[in-house]
């Protein structure tokens, strides 16, 4: 009698208690609720509050629950009305009802167990969103319409280069430059740069095998754009800086930054606070060390923020605050000009695999291998110079070791998540 | 060994520097992942064989000529452990190198399983390999910290030592391996362990074979994915999530706020020991098979995500030759006993009946069939001499003689007394 329409939601037999599963954020949801249209008249009266109804239990890509015919008892209906009254009043923990699970985007190949394994390019002009996920020796690019319908997809492979084995890709990332957008792919052989749709390779940089040591694998990892430069990190700790022209393939390696003793993990940048500089860049490595640079024809090292023996897997930059996620599940916020620690969050119970920022609103997204994704609100107090953090929302992706998470738009109203061995991109939205 | 490798590369007319680059360019993520993969899979294999042999155990005096007894079981395990922990083999294994392909690894285990009087049909070998890989995938996935993959390896080695308590020579071999592992991995950083774990997970990507033991214990869902718990102790070195601490410019703590983190975590009790002897604390990697719980695997319905995987394996691998060279190099150090006589040894069936085994062989999905690569380590005369000379150096004392039939063997043993 109650049918699911749209998406992959379905009714299941209601349980007498815990109809909506756990009401705590991130708690296990045991029931899925059909959105919008249903056939039951009694339910229609209550369907006006469907945007606030229980979010679907984030499934792990397995088979959908079987829909079952339900004969409702009056007791059951009273329970529904009571629960919905609670929802309307906003009693549950603040922020719990903010995000709803949307339709997943299927992938050709599952996501690899890497950090920062999702890149999103939002194109407001044509109302499309591009997603990029690394599978292993190939990366998949998807072009998706607003409702989550995939319109086009493309697979890119790592260039063979010297040697005959098929190398693995470490990261795929879109770099937004002043006059163009480039797609950068890093692998165990080198760095490939494509036009934003992945159609044409405009540049190839092979890793220098002279530097290789037999006890360490060679790879490039960590990609960020700053001004008209693209910075890419290396296994050796060096950061390559490429000068990108407004158009054409005349990309030049402009500088090699030496500041890290171990492999670079992630790079982030933001437009600089002062007038005369272009952008600030922060680089992170396997030892947890963070280096803050000022970009320009020659990059200048501003601050070194020492690590504490734990790799820093992901880093973001916002208003002079470096947000770093570590292998011990902590998110730390540092002031980049002084290197002082402002906030320390015991955010996750496993290593953090991805951080993302919605710079317009100061929202930070953190995802870790403990299957949780958290959203934080950052605010900077100008008078004291302190940073404040507030927890907004927590989401559990059951039985999925998350490996990538990104906001899908600059206002932070929707985000996407990838998981190891999962052949789909999970989407959540608060609209 | 390097001489042989060099010779083969020259035979392929690859210029010297390119050959060296080709060898170095092998690196896939971590170059330290292979020993852990090999030893853990070997440990799982021994657990399964031990359980299966115990299940078919028949008291010695009542046994017929072709049935398994306690003595046979011990011999099979001893022979396999002796081959696996061969000193030169382990030394070769511990050198930094890339992970072998699935085919190559499967070949090694095929050889290992047949290192004794036991013989396995293709279907049984496939089932054994499936169980081994899914068990290790579960253990690596659920490892609290990346460094705990080493504790899982130590658990396997500790349990193996438990299986060979009565043989001090073998115990010494395994202890030696433990010491070498501690030497190699003791100094690696957390970042390198994370890379090792990521490499192992890449190896196990897209494997969703359902194992009845895991399904019963509710650690695997019916779609083949493992259950990741959100409660219990946090890994050692990690704090229980839920706290935000804010500091001022001088480093003084200004505010503390708690937030709901969604899980149900408690602090870790203590850290596992990374010494040769010690309490590992972690339970992953210990023997979870018992005699009374037969383990089944279900391969149907798992081919959904295998499309990409098979495309990789079907495409002719130009690296195959190099891989086989490394493989031959590695197995040159393995003591493989040759069968003599008409009967090739006792057959072990991993299924409950022979008919089931035949049925499984017929219904196995195409994608999951592992083709065993036939390695001829001695291919031509000149190399044969060289290899024979080097293999002579790897001679292990105490080569137990054995023959096809049990009766002859007992007779031979009695003659030696």
Over residues B127-143, mean pLDDT: 95
pTM: 0.77
Give residue-wise pLDDT tens across range B352-402: 677 777 777 777 765 555 545 554 443 444 444 554 455 445 444 334 443
Three-class SS of chain B: CHHHHHHHHHHCCCCHHHHHHHHHCCCCCCCCHHHHHHHHHHHHHHHHHHHHHHHCCCCHHHCCCCCCCHHHHHHHHHHHHHHHCCHHHHHHHCCCCCCCCHHHHHHHHHHHHCCCCEEECHHHHHHHHHHHHHHHHHHHHCCCCCCHHHHHHHHHHHHHHHHCCCCHHHHHHHHHHHHHHHHHHCCCCHHHHHHHHHHHHHHCCCCCCEEHHHHHCCCECCCCCECCCCEEECCCCCCCCCEEEEECCCCCEEEEEECCCCCEEECCCCCCCCCCCCCCCCCCCCCCCCCCCCCCEECCCCHHHHHHHHHHHHCCCCCHHHHHHHHHHHHHCCCCCCCCCCCCCEEECCCCCHHHHHHHHHHCCHHHCCCCCCCCCCCCHHHHHHHHHHHHHCCCCCCCCCCCCHHHHHHHHHHHC
Look at residue A190 and tell me whether its pLDDT is greater than 90.
Answer: yes
- Helix, coil or strand: residue A83: helix
Distance (Å, rounded) from C-alpha B194 to C-alpha B145?
Answer: 8
pLDDT at A89: 52
Q: Which chain B residues are within 8 Å of A217, Cβ to Cβ?
A: 27-31, 98, 195
Lowest mean pLDDT among A12-26, A365-379, A412-426: A12-26
- What is the spatial distance between Cα B120 and Cα B109, in angstroms, rounded to a whole number? 11
B317: nearest CA partner in chain A: A165
B265 contact residues in A (CB cutoff 8 A): 349
Three-state DSSP class for A50? helix
Residue of higher predicted confidence among A392 and B400: A392
How far is it between the farthest Cα atoms of chain B?
A: 85
B238 touches chain A (CB under 8 A): yes
Which one of A166, A266, A370, A398 would you mutate to disrupt binding with B, by most B Cβ within 10 Å of its Cβ?
A370
Tell me the pLDDT tens digit for each residue of B39-75: 999 999 999 999 888 887 655 555 565 566 788 888 8
Element (H, E) at A44: helix A41-46
What's residue A208's pLDDT? Answer: 84
Contact B299, B273 (CB under 8 A): no
Whether B412 shows a pLDDT value over 60: the answer reads no
Q: What pLDDT was estimated at residue B256? A: 95
| Predicted local confidence at residue A163, as pLDDT | 55
User: What is residue B118's predicted lDDT score, i.e. its pLDDT?
Assistant: 85
Give the tens place of pLDDT for each residue, A123-165: 989 889 999 999 999 999 999 998 889 999 999 999 886 655 6
Highest mean pLDDT among A32-36, A285-289, A293-297 belongs to A285-289
Using the Cβ of B266 and the Cβ atoms of chain A, whether some distance falls under 8 Å is answered with no
Instruction: Give the closest-approach CA distance of A297 to chain B in angstroms.
Output: 32
> CA–CA separation, B332 vs B108, rounded Å?
12
* CB proximity A156 to B under 8 Å: no
Give pLDDT tens digits for A57-109: 443 333 444 444 444 466 666 666 765 665 555 443 444 447 899 999 999 99
Question: Between the CA of residue A352 and those of A266, A348, A355, what are the distances in Å?
Answer: 12, 7, 8
**Contact at CB, B240 and A386, closer than 8 angstroms:** no
- Which residues in chain A are contacts of B230 at CB distance < 8 A? 26, 349, 370-372, 396
Which chain B residues are closer than 8 Å to A63 by Cβ? 222-223
Span A333-353, average pLDDT:
95
State how far Cα A81 lies from the chain centre.
37
- Measured between beta carbons, which residues in chain B are less than 8 angstroms from residue A135? 308
Rounded to whole angstroms, what are the CA distances from A219 to A234, B220, B268?
6, 34, 34
Say how many C-beta atoms besides its own lie within 10 A of residue B87's C-beta. 14
Q: Which of residues 211-250 of A touch B (CB under 8 A)?
A: 212, 214-219
pLDDT in tens, B63-116: 565 566 788 888 889 999 999 999 999 999 999 888 888 888 999 999 888 888
Using the predicted structure, report yes or no on whether residue A378 has a pLDDT greater than 60: yes
Which residues of B are less than 8 Å from A404 in CB distance?
Answer: none
Tokens of A214: 């037999």
Is the pLDDT at A114 greater than 50? The verdict is yes
- Min CA distance, B312 vs chain A (Å)? 9
Chain B positions in Cβ-Cβ contact with residue A390 (cut-off 8 Å): 257
Mean pLDDT of B219-237: 93
Q: What is the mean pLDDT of chain B?
A: 76
Query: How large a percentage of chain A has pLDDT more than 90?
Result: 62
CB-based contact, B271 to chain A, within 8 Å: no
Q: Is B183 on the interface with A (CB under 8 A)?
A: no
pLDDT in tens, A403-429: 999 999 999 999 999 999 999 999 999
Q: Is residue A275 a contact partner of residue A262, using CB atoms and an 8 Å limit?
A: no
């Amino acid at each position: 009698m109650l049918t699911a329409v749209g998406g992959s939601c379905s009714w299941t037999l209601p349980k007498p208690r815990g109809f909506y599963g756990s009401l705590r954020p991130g708690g296990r949801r045991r029931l899925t609720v059909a959105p919008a249209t249903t056939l039951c008249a009694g339910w229609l009266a209550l369907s006006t509050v469907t945007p606030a109804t229980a979010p679907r239990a984030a499934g792990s890509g397995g088979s959908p629950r079987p829909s079952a015919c339900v004969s409702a008892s009056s007791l059951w209906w009273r329970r529904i009305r009571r629960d919905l009254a609670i929802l309307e009043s906003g009693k549950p923990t603040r922020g719990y009802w903010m995000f709803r699970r949307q339709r997943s985007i299927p992938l050709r190949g599952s996501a690899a167990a890497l950090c920062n394994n999702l890149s999103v390019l939002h194109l407001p002009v044509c109302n499309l969103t591009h997603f990029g996920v690394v599978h292993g020796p190939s990366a998949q690019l998807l072009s998706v319409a607003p409702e989550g319908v995939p319109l086009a997809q493309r697979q890119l492979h790592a260039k063979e280069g010297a040697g005959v084995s098929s190398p693995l890709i470490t990261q795929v990332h879109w770099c937004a430059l002043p006059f163009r957008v480039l797609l950068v792919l890093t692998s165990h052989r080198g760095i490939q740069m494509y036009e934003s749709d992945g159609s044409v390779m405009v540049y190839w940089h092979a890793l220098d095998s002279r530097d290789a040591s037999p006890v360490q694998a060679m790879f490039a990892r960590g990609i960020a754009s700053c001004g008209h430069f693209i910075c890419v990190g290396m296994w050796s700790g060096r950061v390559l800086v490429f000068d990108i022209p407004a158009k054409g393939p005349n990309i030049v390696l402009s500088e090699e930054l030496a500041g890290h003793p171990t492999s670079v993990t992630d790079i982030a940048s933001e437009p600089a606070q002062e007038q005369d500089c272009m952008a600030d860049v922060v680089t992170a490595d396997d030892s947890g060390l963070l280096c803050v640079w000022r970009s320009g024809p020659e990059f200048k090292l501003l601050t070194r923020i020492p690590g504490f023996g734990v790799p820093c897997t992901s880093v973001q930059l916002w208003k002079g605050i470096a947000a770093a996620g570590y292998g011990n599940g902590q998110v730390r916020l540092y002031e980049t000009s002084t290197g002082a620690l402002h906030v320390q969050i015991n955010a996750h119970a496993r290593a953090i695999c991805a951080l993302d920022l919605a710079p317009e609103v100061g929202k930070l997204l953190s995802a870790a291998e403990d299957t949780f994704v958290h959203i934080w609100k950052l605010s900077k107090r100008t008078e004291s110079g302190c940073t404040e953090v507030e927890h907004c929302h927590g989401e559990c992706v059951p039985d999925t070791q998350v490996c990538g998470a990104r906001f899908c738009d600059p206002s932070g109203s929707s985000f996407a998540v990838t998981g190891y061995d999962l052949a789909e991109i999970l989407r959540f939205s608060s609209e | 060994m390097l001489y042989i490798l060099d010779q083969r590369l020259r035979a392929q007319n690859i210029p010297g520097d390119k050959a060296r680059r080709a060898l170095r360019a092998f690196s896939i993520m971590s170059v330290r992942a292979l020993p852990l993969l090999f030893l853990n899979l070997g440990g799982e294999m021994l657990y399964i064989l031990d359980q299966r042999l115990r299940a078919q155990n028949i008291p010695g005096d009542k046994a017929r000529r072709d049935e398994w007894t306690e003595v046979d079981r011990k011999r099979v395990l001893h022979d396999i452990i002796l081959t696996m922990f061969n000193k030169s083999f382990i030394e070769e294994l511990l050198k930094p190198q890339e992970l072998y392909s699935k085919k190559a690894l499967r070949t090694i285990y095929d050889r290992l399983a047949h290192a004794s009087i036991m013989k396995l049909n293709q279907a049984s070998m496939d089932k054994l390999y499936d169980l081994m890989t899914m068990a290790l995938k579960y253990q690596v996935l659920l490892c609290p910290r990346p460094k705990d993959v080493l504790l899982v390896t130590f658990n396997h080695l500790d349990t193996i030592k438990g299986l060979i308590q009565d043989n001090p020579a073998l115990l010494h071999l395994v202890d030696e391996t433990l010491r070498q592992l501690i030497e190699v991995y003791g100094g690696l950083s957390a970042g390198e362990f994370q890379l090792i774990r990521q490499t192992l997970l890449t190896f196990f990507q897209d494997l969703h074979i359902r194992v009845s033991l895991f399904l019963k214990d509710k650690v695997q869902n019916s779609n083949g994915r493992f259950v990741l718990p959100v409660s219990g102790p946090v890994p050692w070195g990690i704090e229980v999530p839920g706290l935000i601490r804010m500091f001022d410019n001088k480093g003084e703590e200004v505010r503390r706020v708690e937030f709901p983190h969604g899980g149900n975590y408690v602090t870790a009790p203590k850290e596992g020991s990374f010494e040769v002897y010690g309490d590992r604390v972690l339970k992953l990697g210990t023997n979870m098979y018992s005699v009374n719980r037969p383990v089944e695997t279900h391969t149907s319905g798992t081919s959904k995500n295998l499309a990409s995987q098979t495309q990789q394996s079907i495409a002719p691998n130009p690296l195959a030759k190099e891989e086989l060279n490394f493989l031959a190099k590695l197995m040159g150090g393995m003591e493989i006993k040759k069968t003599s006589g008409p009967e090739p040894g006792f057959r072990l069936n991993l299924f409950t009946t022979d008919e089931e085994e035949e049925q499984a062989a017929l219904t196995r999905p195409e994608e999951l069939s592992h083709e065993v690569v036939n390695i001829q380590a001695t291919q031509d005369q000149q190399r044969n001499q060289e290899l024979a000379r080097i293999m002579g150096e790897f001679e292990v004392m105490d080569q137990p003689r054995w023959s096809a039939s049990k009766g002859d063997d007992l007779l031979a043993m009695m003659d030696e007394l």
